[in-house]
Chains A and B, each alone.
Chain A
Amino acid sequence: MQLSGTRARISLRVGDPGLLAAFLVVAAALVGFVLYPTLRVLAYPAVSDYLAAPHNTRWIAAMRNSLMMMVLSTASATLVGFVYAYATTRPNLPGRTAFRQVALLPLFAPPFMVAFAYILLFGRQGLITKQLLGLNVNLFGWQGLWLVQTVAFFPYAALIIAQVLEAINPTLEYAARDLGASEWTLFRTVTFPLARPGVAAAMLIVAISVLADFGNAVVLVGDMPLLATEAWFRIEGLGDLSGAAVVVSVLLLPTVGLFLLERVWVSRRLYTAITGRGGRLTRPPTPWYFLTPLLVFSIGVAIFVLLVYVAVLAGAFARTWGYNWTLTLDHWRLALGQSGPHLVNSIKVGVASALVTSSLALVAAFVTSRHVFRTERALDFLAVLPAALPGVFIGIGFLLAFNQPPLVLGGTPWILILALAFWHIPFGYQAAVAGMKQIDRSIEEAASNLGASGLQVLRDVYLPLLRGAFATSFVTSFIRAVTNLSIVVFLVTPRNLVATYAILSMIGGGFWGAAAALTTALLAVTFVAVGLARVALGRGLRGLPAG
């Protein structure tokens, strides 16, 4: 483990044209597609609307509640994610691959469906709580939301932390053991400190996702004001774009705070683990007294996650979900008949936006790590900013910004693809930045001593080593794009309808069976697409279940 601070940085001269070009492309993309729409939305309300905000007691309550949920859900989701990631990176845990696959499932959650599934299972008349356990549980309220958010967001933490844990060189663990460290001391002094950048990155992403969580909140805490839902209420109920813009800009305050905190805590140190020297050993097996509780924990979490999807599957085949369990294929006929083409569109949009996200995120992470151009901090912020903005904000921003000259994208699929792509940049960016932190500078030094330019360093040194980060970001962005609803609602066009829109339509009409069927179909298609992507991106998927 090394600490930086005094280590001299490689500074590639500004005369390096390839690097300059990359910088300009990244800067133009981020400014044009992140900053510009954001400013369009922020500039929409009048100054008086902003000044009136602190006097709005409901919005103060919303801020308080959002912060409370953020603290609670981030803590629990990161904790669960960490233990889960730790468990699944122990080489002798039985069923590791299966556990990792299960952890991906909550990412596939179209809004509303999963929250309703929870109510079906764990509500007052819930299958589990009432029929099985005889309890009278009220899931509505912040406690229910806390539970659902923990399960919904722990995969983000698990994915990021698992990637970091996997990259820790086993020789460090062997050395510690040789020196007589117990399992717990090993964890405390070697594993956890090395995993800190991952934990910090995970907490940032989870915290911001919780702040912006809309689908679960709407179903479970309709009464309790929250910042993310207030924006939607303003739009749906009052048609008040100005008020929505004000509420969302209030959301930016805690986000900026979190961002600064993470930068301060993590960025001051380097956590070099990939040194480019020496071979890789397999990790030593974990003793049974550590492994058994980990296994039990993983099984518990996995069952919890799977139950919800089993409920959705059951809903697709049952005549009336939760009431009449006779099997039928009618829902499937309705769903696929109407929405077969929508599924195809979802995949197309997902692939295109995920490619844009992952490629741009990687190049952006590289550019901002060069510390050559003074504006890195700004680009860094722009790359993480979209995670703080609720989908509604992005949807409206793109609609306001790109439905008119100079760049007219409205009416084409590209407005939706780019909105989704740039909304997901923070995930790819954080993964790439965390991955980069682990790569020793000496590899790069060696390359540039041999005459490599900036872009050649990117292509030959970082790209191969960051394949895992690229793959993780591609898969995460793809899944999120395919299951997104909040942006889709504003940017979809009649010609390019996607599956989540159709699901919402069905729910709105009360056709739960068909919605469940289409959700299952979407899940299946997404799984297949993710499998294909993993095959195409080949070996080196360190952050993903590689079997």
Chain B
Amino acid sequence: MRRVLVVITCLVLGAVIMSPRVQGQGGKVVIYSALDAPVTNEILKAFERTSGLQTEALTLAAAGTLATRIRAEKVRPQADVFLGGSIDFHAPLAKEGLLDAYKSPRLAEANLAPQFYDPNGYWTGWYIGALAIMYNRDRFEREMAPKGIKPPATWDDLLNPAFKGQVVLPSPITTGGGFIFTAAQIFRFANEDRAFEWLKQLAQNATFTPTAPAPITLVSRGEALVGMNWGHDIRAMAVNQGFPVELVFPPDTATEIGGVSIIKGSPNPDGARRFVDFMLSRVPQDINAKYGLRYPTRTDAPVPMGMPALTSLKFVAYNRQWAIDNMQRLREKWQSVIAK
């Protein structure tokens, strides 16, 4: 009797599991998003409202994993759009022939500066993030202020021996932010070897975490004293959540450009193109500024609340193309020279 019940249960389960297999693509746009869920959901809701198309999204704040998934699905792509994540991840996909070129008619109206979109049309930049230093205010007041040590304000301050073992940064090998930080140092010194000497000294003071948000969590809870991460993430995840964290933009910081691109051979290329058109409008950039605190690429969009104006920040002379072209080599160099 029990055997019969088990068999029936299996059949029922099988039927239930098989049922949502309706593949019908008709008008659906599938998106791999490297942004956080709240921002992604808002953007997709807005897109569905304005375009009338349905969307489905896989949201994972790990752009490298999504890019690898796109590579592995090369023969039969499951997704239409790769959304978010710095273009350091989109550009290599374009080089491997995995993206579709598309020059949106909206480009002229959006009036983006030329560094914000690929001249060949493979990717389009729609948000900007800037790197910042963060520190735990409570611990600083308790432990460092009595010794007369001032809070960090420049990249060189991270090397302060008083902070030994208390500094956390995202790893250059596994995160976009960590890599851009490393490249920024190379551009700051205008000399790769000097930069790597500086980074070696930093590695004596610091721990590098494999995931991007980890430094923020650690500094927020006082497990570490000083850190580095994207300004918008520090603000959204730490400051606005009530943690005693201060953020400061050093005078030679670097930026990421957040991209969107169309995957080649996708199920719904038309829907994908309409999505890219939508991303160039004000709506998603405003949403991102509101929920994600990221800077918009459109000049007519407002500055995120609580963040300094992008024009007030000072940037190192960052050669993005060189950084992307040398990404593999620099990461391997980091692995062999610094991470033992």
B209 close to chain A: CB less than 8 A: yes
Interchain nearest-CB distance for A525 vs B (Å):
16
User: Which residues of chain A (204-244) have a CB below 8 Å from chain B?
Assistant: 218-219, 222-223, 225, 229, 232-233, 235-241
Bound complex: CA A237 to CA B65 (Å): 8
Instruction: Name which residue of chain B comes closest to A324, CB basis.
Output: B242
Complex-state Cα separation, A395 to B285, whole angstroms: 34
Identify which of A233, A399, A510, A538 gathers the most chain B CB atoms within 10 Å of its CB: A510
Residue pair A223, B72 in contact (C-beta under 8 Å): no
As a 0/1 sequence over residues 141 to 177 of chain A, the CB contacts with chain B under 8 angstroms (1 = contact) are 0000000000000000000000000000000000000
Interface membership of A348, Cβ < 8 A: yes
- Name the residue of chain A whose CB is nearest to the CB of B234: A510
Which residues 230-262 of B sit at the A interface, judged by CB distance below 8 A?
233, 236-238, 241-243
In the complex, A233→B59 CA distance in Å?
19
Q: Are B56 and A495 in contact (CB under 8 A)?
A: yes
In the complex, whether A506 has a CB less than 8 A from a CB of chain B is yes
- Kindly state the separation between the CA atoms of A322 and B238 in the bound complex, as whole angstroms: 13
| 1/0 contact string of B1-44 vs chain A (CB within 8 Å) | 01001100110011011001101000000110000111000000
Chain B residues lying within 8 Å of A412, measured Cβ to Cβ, are 21
Interface pick from B184-192, B193-201, B216-224, B273-281: B216-224
User: B73 and A410: CB pair below 8 A?
Assistant: yes
Report the minimum CB–CB distance from B241 to chain A (whole Å): 6
| A116 to B223 CA separation, bound complex (whole angstroms) | 11
Within the complex, which residue of A61, A233, A408, A492 is in contact with B174, where a contact is CB–CB below 8 Å?
A233
Q: Are A501 and B60 in contact (CB under 8 A)?
A: yes
**Shortest beta-carbon distance, B229 to chain A, in Å?**
11
A408: chain B residues within 8 A (beta carbon): 76
* Chain A minimum-CB-distance residue to B171: A222
Q: How far is the CA of A233 from the CA of B72 in the complex (A)?
A: 16
B78 in contact with A410 (CB, 8 Å): yes
Interface string of B53-65 (1 = CB under 8 A from A): 0001111111011
> Does B217 lie within 8 Å of A235, measured CB to CB?
no
Q: Which one of B9, B61, B72, B173 has the greatest number of beta carbons of chain A within 10 Å?
A: B72
Contacts of A232 in B (CB 8 A): 174, 210
Query: Distance (Å) between the CB of A499 and the closest chain B CB?
Result: 14
A239-B64, A509-B36 known; A355 and B10 CB under 8 Å? yes
Assess whether B64 is in contact with A348, with CB atoms less than 8 Å apart.
no
Contact (Cβ within 8 A) A237 B36: no
Bound state CA distance, A510 and B340, in angstroms? 29
Tell me the complex Cα distance, A412–B13, Å.
Answer: 15
Closest to A490 in B: B69
- The reply to whether A58 and B336 form a contact with Cβ atoms under 8 Å apart is yes
Compute how far the CA of A240 lies from the CA of B71 in the bound complex, rounded to whole angstroms.
Answer: 10
Which has the most chain B C-beta neighbours within 10 Å: A58, A222, A489, A536?
A222
Cα-based distance from A116 to B16 in the complex (angstroms): 36
Q: State which of A229, A235, A320, A410 has its C-beta within 8 Å of the C-beta of B242.
A: A320
Which of A237, A351, A501 is B175 in contact with, Cβ under 8 Å? A237
Complex partner residue of B210 from A57, A229, A396, CB under 8 angstroms: A229
B interface footprint on A103-123 (CB within 8 Å = 1, 0 otherwise): 000000000000010011001
Q: Please, how many angstroms separate the alpha-carbon atoms of A299 and B56 in the complex? A: 48
- B242 contacts A323, C-beta separation under 8 Å: yes
Give the docked Cα–Cα distance between A508 and B230 (Å): 13
- Chain A residues 398 to 424 lying within 8 A of chain B, measured CB to CB, are 399-400, 403-404, 408, 410-413, 417
A399 to B221, CA, bound (A): 38
Residues of chain A lying within 8 A (CB to CB) of residue B78 = 403, 410-411, 493
A182 within 8 A of B: no
Closest A residue by C-beta to B138:
A323
Shortest distance between the CB of A264 and any CB in chain B (Å): 36
Is B133 close to A, CB under 8 A?
A: no
Let me know if A400 and B175 touch, CB within 8 A. Answer: no
Interface size on B, residues (CB 8 A): 69
B72 lies within 8 A of A399 (CB): yes
A238 touches B173 (CB 8 A): yes
A208 shortest CB reach to chain B, Å? 22
Chain A CB within 10 Å, residue with most, of B65, B214, B238: B65
Instruction: Give the chain B neighbours of A239 by CB distance below 8 A.
Output: 64, 67-68, 71, 89, 92
The chain A residue with its CB closest to the CB of B69 is: A490
Residues of A within 8 A of B154 (CB): none
Q: Considering the chains assembled together, what is the distance between the CA atoms of A338 and B222 in angstroms?
A: 30
Least distance between B13 CB and chain A CB atoms (Å): 6
B62 contacts A236, CB within 8 Å? yes
Chain A residues near B213: list those with CB within 8 A.
Answer: 507-510
Are B59 and A505 neighbours in the complex by a CB distance under 8 Å? yes
Cross-interface CB contact of B328 among A57, A125, A238, A490, cutoff 8 Å: A238
Residue of A nearest to B221 (CB): A322
- Are the C-beta atoms of B208 and A494 separated by less than 8 Å? no
Chain B residues within an 8 Å CB radius of A527? none
Query: Does any Cβ of A come within 8 Å of B104's Cβ?
Result: no
Q: Which of B71, B76, B336 is the one whose CB lies under 8 Å from A410?
A: B76
**B5 partner residues in chain A, CB cutoff 8 A:** 536
Considering the complex, give the chain A residue whose CB is closest to the CB of B216: A510
- A322 surroundings in chain B (CB, below 8 A): 221
A417 touches B17 (CB 8 A): yes
- CB-defined contacts of B16 to chain A, threshold 8 Å: 348
The A-contacting residues of B in range 134-190, CB under 8 angstroms, are 171, 173-175, 179
Query: In the complex, A495→B30 CA distance in Å?
Result: 10
- A residues lining the B interface (CB < 8 Å): 57-58, 61, 116, 119-120, 123-125, 140, 218-219, 222-223, 225, 229, 232-233, 235-241, 319-320, 322-324, 338, 348-349, 351-352, 355, 396, 399-400, 403-404, 408, 410-413, 417, 489-490, 492-497, 501, 504-512, 536, 538
4 tightest A-B CB contacts, nearest first: A508-B61, A509-B36, A510-B237, A237-B174
Knowing that A404-B75, A536-B6 are A-B contacts, what are 17 other residue pairs whose CB atoms are under 8 Å apart, sorted by A's residue number?
A: A58-B340, A125-B223, A222-B171, A223-B208, A237-B174, A239-B71, A241-B68, A348-B17, A396-B68, A410-B73, A410-B76, A489-B60, A489-B65, A505-B36, A508-B213, A509-B237, A510-B213
> Can you list 9 A-B contacts with CB-CB less than 8 angstroms, sorted by A residue number?
A123-B223, A140-B207, A222-B207, A239-B92, A241-B72, A489-B60, A494-B31, A510-B216, A510-B236
